[in-house]
Structure 1
Amino acid sequence: MNIKGIVVGLMDKKTKIEILKTILAIESINNNEALVADYIASLFSEYPVTVEKVTYAHNRDNLVITIGSSGPILGFSGHMDVVAPGNLTDWVTPPFEPTIIDNRMFGRGAADMKGGLAALVVALLELLEKNIKLKGRVRLLATVGEETGEYGAAQLTKLGYADNLAGLVIAEPTDNMQRIVYTSRGVIDYKVISKGKSAHSARPQYGINAIDNLLAFYELAKKRLSAFTETDTILGGITHNITVINGGEQINSIPSSAELMGNIRTIPQYPNQIFFEALEKIIVELNEKKDFDLSISYSFPEEAIPGEPDSNIIQIAQKVHQQYWKIPVKVTGSLGANDGAEFLQAKGDFASIVLGPGSHTSHQSNEYIELDTYLKAIKFYQNFAVTFLNEQSQVI
C-alpha cells in the first residue's frame, strides 16, 4: 500500500475522496496510528505549517498540525484508531479495501471516525491552497487510542497542546452532521480481582472460594450504585453494568481466583470521584471480613462533559450549518465518551462541540460514510474556521 501522499494541487472532488480512501485503507486497529499520522503529515509537506508528531508508543504517534502563526487557536480533533472489523464474512466488501457503492464509501472507520478526520484534513489543505488569511490559528489534534481510553488526547493535553484554545470541534459522527453534541456522559471502566485458596471441591472447608467473594462485591456494587438517582435533562441518569466475569480453574476445584469488570456511564451531576469512593468503600468493608482478599483498579476513566446549549461556538456552528443543510441542526448530548473529556482538562476556559459526518454504522460491519455529506462537511469546516476566528478576533 502506497501512503507517501498525493500531489495536492487542485483540490478536486476526486482528490478529496482519494484522501479519505487512503486513510481508510490503513489498518489502525487500536494500534498502528503512526502510518496514518505519516500519511496526513505528508499532505502538508509543501505548506508553511507546523507539523509535530508526539509518540505515545511504538507505531503510535499523535499528530499536531498548526496553521497560522498568531492569534486565537481553534482546535479541530479526530482520532486515527479504529475498532476491529469483527466477523469478516459479515462484510460485503473487505473492511480495509475502501469501496464506493451507491455514493457511499464502505470501510472500517468510515463513520467512526476517519471520515470526519479526513474532512478536517482536507478542509485545512483547502484553506492553505486558497491562501485564506485566518484571523488566528487552527490546530489539528489527531490522536491515538480513543477507542480504548482517550490516552492520546490525555498525552497531548498533559503536554499543553490544548492549552488556551478558543474552542474545539471534534469530528465524531453525529448523524451525518445533523446534531451538535455539547455535553456527553463520562465513563469509568473498573476491574475487581478476588483472591482465594484452591481445594478439592469435595473438601471446600480447606479452601476459599474466590467466586463467592467476588459475587458479594457484585451484589453490593449493584445495590449501592443504584442509589445515584439524579438525572440530567439531556443525558438521563447514570448506568452501571457488570460486563465481564472470569474465575476458577476446573469444575472439581474451589476457585483460587476470579475477576469481574464493570462499566459506569456518568453524568455531569456526579464527578467520577464519587463513584471511586463508593466502590473502594465496598472493597474495604468486604476485606475486613474473614477470607476476603479483593482489589480494584481503573482503566482510563473519563469525566462527563458539561456544556451550555447556547454557547458562542454552538451559535456560530448553527449559523454556518444552515448555509449547507436545509434542516436545522439539533443541539443535543451524547451517551458515549469522546476525546473532549481529556482536552477540556487543559488550561483555559473553552467549549467543545462534536459535529461530524458519518452514518449510524459505527463499530458495525459494512460501516460507511455518505460521500455527499463528507464533501459538504469539508466546506462546513472551512467556513466555520474562518467565521469562528473572525468573531474571536473581534472579541479580543
Structure 2
Amino acid sequence: MVTARGLWNMACSMTLPTDPAKNLADLIRCPSVTPEDAGALDTLARMLEPLGAKSEKPVFSDDNTPDIANLYATIGEDGPHLMFAGHTDVVPVGDPDQWKYPPFAAEIADGVMYGRGAVDMKGGIACFVAALARHVEKNGPLKGRASLLITGDEEGPAINGTVKLLEWARERGESWDAAIVGEPTNPEKLGDMIKIGRRGSMSGRVTVTGRQGHVAYPHLADNPVPGIMALGQGLIANIFDQGTDEFQPSNLEITTVDVGNPAVNVIPGKASLAFNIRFNDTWTAESLQEEIHNRLDEAAEHDCAARGLEAPVEYDIEWIGRVSPVFLTRDEKLIETLSASVEAVTGERPKLSTSGGTSDARFIKDYCPVVEFGLVGQTMHMVDERVPVSDLETLTQIYERFIQDWFG
C-alpha cells in the first residue's frame, strides 16, 4: 500500500504544478465549451498526478441532455477533508474575429492572459492546484485530505454535473468538512469579496389563452394581450420585501412576453410571459409561489373591474426548472480562516456577501459548509476574457495560506 508519505516522496521526483499561469494556459488550450470536454479534465488529472492524486472521471447521463464527463480527485488520507469545487466547461466565444487574441490560445500580452475561461473559472482551478503543489513542496503531505470536485456542466443545464457528482461521491463513502467554490467572486479587485451564501432563484411562465380572429371583427375574437399585460403589471407593481441584514431585497424580472404572432391584422390566440425572481430568506419556495398566485389573482380581478369584463381573465402558470433555494453559510472556521488569508496577502479585509446569481454552491451546501472565492469577474463571458498574471499569483498565495491555516 502506498502511504501519503510515499506519495509525497514520489511527488518530489516529479515536476509539481506550482505555476498557476502555466496551469491555466494548459486548461484554456482545451476548448471545453459546454458540453464538450475537449481534454480539459484529462489535462487537469495529469496536472494532479505529481501530487499523488487519485482521480476518477465518472460520466453521467439523463434524458434529453448530453452526457457529461466529471472529475473527482483526492489528495491525502485521514483527517479533515476540504473540497475545492468548480468547472472546466466554458461558454461559447461568440465571434472569434472580435477577440484580440485567439480565444483558446492563452496568449499573454502586457502581463495579462487572454482566453475563454480565464476567470470563469479555469483560473481558480489553476491557482488552487498551484497552491496545493506549493504547500506539499514546502510541508510534505497534507494533514488531512483535499478533493477537487470538477464538473463539465456548470455553464449548461447543470443536470449531469455537480448534483450527480456529489451523490456519486457520497455513495462511495465520501464526506467533507468544508468547501470552497472557485468562482470569480471579486467585483473590482482581488480580495474584495467572499460569497457566504446566495439568494434563491425561481422561474415561471404565465399563459392567457384567448381566441384568434381578425382585428376588424374583435367581437368574434378574444384578445389575450390586455390580460397578459395586466397580469405582468400585477407581478411587478409592489416590492416583495426590504431585504435582510444578510441579503438584498427579493426581485422579480419579467424576461419575455410572447404572442407568436407575425401578422399585424390578426388578434392572437395566446399570450404568455416568463419571469425569474431572486429571493432572500424572507421566503420559502412554497410561500413565494403562493404570493405569485395571489398577485396574479388580484391583478385579474382589478383588470376585470377596469375593463368591465363579465369575469376575470383566466391564466395558467407553469414553474420552470428546479428552484434554487436561498442559503447562508455560518461556519466560523471556514469563513474566518479564508478572510484572514485574504487579509494577510492583500492587506484588505474582504466583504462577506450574498449578492449575485446562483452557482454550484447551492448544491454543495447540502453536504458541508461552503463559501465562494476566486478571481475578479469583470470580463467573464465577454469577448477578450482575461486575467492579469499577477492576480493568478495573488490568488495562489491566498489559497496556499488558507490550506496551511485550515489544515493546521
Query: TM-score normalized by structure 2?
Result: 0.80
Q: Does 1:20 align with 2:32?
A: no
- Quick one: structure 1 residues 279 and 389, their matched pair in 2 at CA, closer, same or farther if it must change by over 3 Å? same
Q: Does 1:201 align with 2:209?
A: no
Matches within 5 A, 1:199-278: 199-223=213-237, 226-249=238-261, 250-278=263-291
1:301 counterpart residue number: 323
The CA distance in 2 between the partners of 1:371 and 1:254, in whole Å, is 58
1:67 counterpart residue number: 75
1:262-290 alpha-carbon deviations (Å, 9 max, x no partner): 12111223223322222345567869967
Please report how far the alpha carbon of residue 353 of structure 1 lies from its aligned counterpart in structure 2 after TM superposition.
1.6
Of 285, 310, 314 in structure 1, the residue corresponding to residue 335 of structure 2 is 314
Q: Is the 8 A contact 1:321 1:380 kept in 2?
A: yes
1:373 counterpart residue number: 391
The CA distance in 1 between the partners of 2:78 and 2:273, in whole Å, is 50
Matches within 5 A, 1:11-90: 11=16, 16-33=20-37, 35-45=39-49, 48-57=52-61, 58-88=66-96, 90=98
- Quick one: structure 1 residues 195 and 54, their matched pair in 2 at CA, closer, same or farther if it must change by over 3 Å? farther
Q: Is the 8 A contact 1:98 1:107 kept in 2?
A: yes
Letter in 2 for 1:75: M
1:166 counterpart residue number: 177
Please report how far the alpha carbon of residue 62 of structure 1 lies from its aligned counterpart in structure 2 after TM superposition.
2.2
1:384 alignment partner, SS class:
helix
- Quick one: structure 1 residues 12 and 168, their matched pair in 2 at CA, closer, same or farther if it must change by over 3 Å? closer
Letter in 2 for 1:147: E
Quick check: which has more Rg, 1 or 2? 2
Query: Any stretches of 5+ residues in structure 2 without a counterpart?
Result: 1-12, 305-310
The CA distance in 2 between the partners of 1:246 and 1:378, in whole Å, is 47
1:180 counterpart residue number: 194
- Quick one: structure 1 residues 164 and 213, their matched pair in 2 at CA, closer, same or farther if it must change by over 3 Å? farther
Of 341, 350, 353 in structure 1, the residue corresponding to residue 371 of structure 2 is 353
- Quick one: structure 1 residues 235 and 149, their matched pair in 2 at CA, closer, same or farther if it must change by over 3 Å? farther
Q: CA RMSD for the aligned pairs?
A: 3.1
The CA distance in 1 between the partners of 2:58 and 2:224, in whole Å, is 43
The CA distance in 2 between the partners of 1:233 and 1:300, in whole Å, is 26
- Quick one: structure 1 residues 204 and 63, their matched pair in 2 at CA, closer, same or farther if it must change by over 3 Å? farther
- Quick one: structure 1 residues 104 and 60, their matched pair in 2 at CA, closer, same or farther if it must change by over 3 Å? same
1:261 alignment partner, SS class:
strand
State percent identity of aligned pairs: 25
Please report how far the alpha carbon of residue 131 of structure 1 lies from its aligned counterpart in structure 2 after TM superposition.
7.4
Letter in 2 for 1:318: S
The CA distance in 2 between the partners of 1:200 and 1:64, in whole Å, is 60
Q: Does 1:10 align with 2:21?
A: no
1:19-52 alpha-carbon deviations (Å, 9 max, x no partner): 2112123333332146322321233346543322
Q: Is the 8 A contact 1:194 1:295 kept in 2?
A: no
The CA distance in 1 between the partners of 2:130 and 2:351, in whole Å, is 25
Letter in 2 for 1:330: K
Query: TM-score normalized by structure 1?
Result: 0.83
1:44 alignment partner, SS class:
helix
Letter in 2 for 1:301: V
1:5 counterpart residue number: none
Please report how far the alpha carbon of residue 149 of structure 1 lies from its aligned counterpart in structure 2 after TM superposition.
5.5
1:138 counterpart residue number: 146
1:324-361 alpha-carbon deviations (Å, 9 max, x no partner): 22333333332222211111123xxx432211123422
Letter in 2 for 1:307: T
Please report how far the alpha carbon of residue 12 of structure 1 lies from its aligned counterpart in structure 2 after TM superposition.
6.8
Q: Which stretch of structure 1 is more off in the superposition, 214-223 or 240-249?
A: 214-223
Aligned length: 376
